[in-house]
Amino acid sequence: MEHVYKENKKGAPVFVLLHGTGGTETDLLPLAQALNPEYNVLGIRGNVKENGMNRYFRRLGEGNYDWEDLEFRGNELYTFIAEKAKEYDFKLEDVIFVGFSNGSNIAIQLMLQQADKFKKAMLFAPLYPADIEVKEDFSDVNVFLSLGKADPIVPEVESERVIQLFENRNADVTHIWVKGHTLPQEALAAGKAWLDKQN
């Protein structure tokens, strides 16, 4: 998978940057820099194409996931991240997912599939339209969610579902509501405040 790795401080946490539909591995680099310039960064480009746009998994329509492909791509992405952890000498427990839209959605999938590996995430405009049986224990998971009011892609009820997905598994959840399917300055500021408390 196409990616970029930037080591800013040996042993520091690692932002794994996961872009939205049509993005690339460099899209969220400015966000990572604003959140904490000392953290190391692994930006990954989705290797699924939808009308020429990069994504992390297939969908059958807006909000209609190809669940089989999502599971396959989740495993594929986990393997890639694990390989890069060895190559670049960082620990999986030091990973903080930073995702927007489609990137947030694959991050949720990874956290469900690898519940013992990933403990922190910052998810902007997420959507995970499934009611799944609670079996994972996220009591040691901390997650920041930025959710959209009047989001044209993610209905408010689906944003609430994402909150419940984490809260039902005992995660420590911080969330903020913003306008639309966006990543505005107030979401960045709230995310940075949350991140500063994680140290």
Catalytic residues: 101, 151, 181
Q: What is the DSSP letter of 113?
A: H
Give the end-to-end CA distance of the chain in Å, rounded to a whole number.
30
3-state secondary structure of 83: helix
**CA distances (Å), origin 93, targets 14, 73, 82, 190:** 9, 21, 11, 23
AA letter at 111: M
CA dihedral of residues 116, 147, 176, 166 (deg, nearest 10): -30
Annotate 20-56 with DSSP letters as a single string: -TT--TTTTHHHHHHH-TTSEEEEE---EEETTEEES
